[in-house]
């Protein structure tokens, strides 16, 4: 019998492998799914991610296990998933800093934020809040705060843990022509005691710090959104206070490794959307001061490109160099 040419054998092998991949995709999921997140255990976004994973598990009928990989400004978690097998069983849930901020401030990123992932959808979003030490910043509003720092250039210090929490202060300096001094911290847990003690004067962070407002240890002056937050309805937005350009917040999103089969992408997207709508996940979002933010499949890549370009413009204007 005449042997088949090598190219025929290669074509047959490709068809066989394609059929096997299609079969695996059709049966997805058939084993535990690993969700890698950069958030520290017990933090608000971690609680949300675990609630989401639990509901995903119920819907999929397989375990969905959360693995915390904090560090590197979310880069450790992103690198892990960016280099993982694209079979649908490795999922990244991260904040926007890994894709919008890090490309501008970290040299030699250990992952490719543009081509290394399949952006699935944003999941939730929230604004930043301006928190001040009431003994150091004697202001009743954002407008009074602005007047105070204008009158004392370079005297007031703000704390930040990443480019996400640094950006609002940089925008404030650029749009309002004020001068403040930044102090970098490794975590919010180390920054908050310094705000309370007066070591730093103010900071921008999410709703998780509101408990210290309720106890009277710090004061909130404004929210970085176009409208008031439903979680702090008495707190005005910067726009209401006459300060434009401060619509800077954060969002969480889900990603698969690049080259994940299309059928698995669609199934994972539906699984995420379904889980995000459950009462348990909605309650976790409410507790963290965030709102659901689901986009159609295929839109996240475009959205984060726009956000990355905007952040880059602000970062370059601030003279921040990649390190």
Q: What is the pLDDT of residue 1?
A: 47
DSSP E strand boundaries for 128-264: 129-132, 157-160, 181-184, 202-205, 219-223, 249-257
- H or E element at residue 93: strand 90-95
Q: What is the pLDDT of residue 21?
A: 55
Q: What is the pLDDT of residue 245?
A: 85
Contact between residue 240 and residue 151 where contact means Cβ atoms under 8 Å apart: no
Q: Which domains does the chain have, with CATH numbers?
A: 6-126+249-317 (3.40.190.150), 129-223 (3.40.190.10)
**Cα separation values, 90 from 36, 47, 200, Å:** 7, 19, 40
Contact between residue 31 and residue 88 where contact means Cβ atoms under 8 Å apart: no
Contact between residue 139 and residue 113 where contact means Cβ atoms under 8 Å apart: no
Q: Characterize 251-288 residue by residue with b for buried, 16 or more Cβ atoms within 10 angstroms of its Cβ, and e for exposed.
A: bbbbbbbeebbeebbebbbebbbebbebeebeebbeeb
Residue 113 burial (CB < 10 Å; 0-12/13-18/19+)? buried
Beta-carbon contacts of 233 under 8 Å, excluding residues fewer than 6 positions away, are none
CA atoms within 13 A on the CB side of 73: 25
Contact between residue 204 and residue 160 where contact means Cβ atoms under 8 Å apart: yes
**Beta strands 90-95; 33-37: pairing state:** parallel
Beta-carbon contacts of 232 under 8 Å, excluding residues fewer than 6 positions away, are 129, 207, 210, 220, 223, 289
For residue 97, the SS3 value is helix
Contact between residue 37 and residue 47 where contact means Cβ atoms under 8 Å apart: no
Structure tokens belonging to residue 243: 């300060």
For residue 269, the SS3 value is helix
Distance in angstroms (rounded) separating the CA atoms of residues 23 and 123? 29
User: Of 42, 8, 33, 7, which is closest to residue 189 (Cα–Cα)?
Assistant: 42
Contact between residue 122 and residue 253 where contact means Cβ atoms under 8 Å apart: yes
Q: What is the pLDDT of residue 86?
A: 97
Residue 220 burial (CB < 10 Å; 0-12/13-18/19+)? buried
CA angle in degrees (0–180, nearest 5) for 14-19-22: 125
Q: What is the pLDDT of residue 196?
A: 97
Structure tokens belonging to residue 83: 């280099």
CA angle in degrees (0–180, nearest 5) for 277-278-281: 90
CA atoms within 13 A on the CB side of 164: 23
Q: What are the 10-residue block averages of pLDDT along the chain, 323 residues in total?
A: 56 53 75 96 93 98 97 93 97 96 94 97 96 96 94 96 92 92 90 97 94 96 92 94 88 97 97 98 95 97 96 92 89
Sign of the alpha-carbon dihedral angle for 35, 36, 41, 47: negative
Distance in angstroms (rounded) separating the CA atoms of residues 50 and 281? 9
């Amino acid at each position: 019998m005449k042997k088949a040419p090598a190219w025929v054998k290669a074509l047959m092998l490709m068809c066989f492998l394609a059929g096997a991949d299609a079969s695996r995709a059709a049966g997805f999921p058939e084993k535990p799914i690993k969700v890698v997140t950069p958030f520290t255990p017990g933090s608000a976004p971690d609680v949300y991610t675990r609630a989401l994973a639990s509901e995903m598990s119920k819907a999929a009928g397989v375990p969905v296990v959360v693995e915390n990989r904090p560090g590197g400004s979310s880069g450790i978690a992103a690198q892990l998933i960016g280099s993982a097998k694209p079979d649908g069983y490795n999922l990244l849930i991260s904040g926007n800093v890994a894709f919008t901020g890090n490309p501008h401030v970290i040299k030699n990123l250990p992952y490719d934020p543009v081509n290394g992932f399949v952006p699935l959808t944003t999941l939730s979003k929230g604004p930043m809040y301006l928190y001040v030490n009431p003994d150091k910043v004697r202001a009743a509003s954002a407008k009074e705060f602005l007047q105070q720092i204008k009158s004392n250039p370079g005297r007031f210090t703000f704390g930040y843990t990443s480019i996400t929490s640094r950006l609002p202060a940089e925008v404030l300096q650029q749009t309002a022509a004020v001068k403040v001094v930044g102090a970098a911290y490794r975590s919010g847990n180390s920054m908050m005691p310094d705000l309370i003690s007066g070591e730093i004067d103010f900071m921008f962070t999410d709703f998780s710090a509101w408990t210290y407002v309720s106890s009277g240890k710090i004061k909130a002056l404004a929210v970085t959104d176009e409208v008031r937050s439903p979680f702090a309805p008495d707190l005005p937005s910067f726009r209401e206070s006459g300060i434009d350009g401060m619509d800077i917040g954060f969002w969480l999103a889900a990603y698969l490794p690049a080259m994940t089969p299309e059928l698995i992408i669609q199934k994972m997207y539906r699984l995420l959307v379904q889980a995000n709508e459950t009462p348990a996940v909605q309650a976790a979002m409410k507790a963290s001061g965030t709102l659901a933010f689901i986009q159609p499949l295929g839109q996240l890549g475009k959205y984060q490109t726009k956000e990355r370009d905007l952040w880059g413009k602000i970062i370059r204007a601030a003279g921040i160099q990649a390190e």
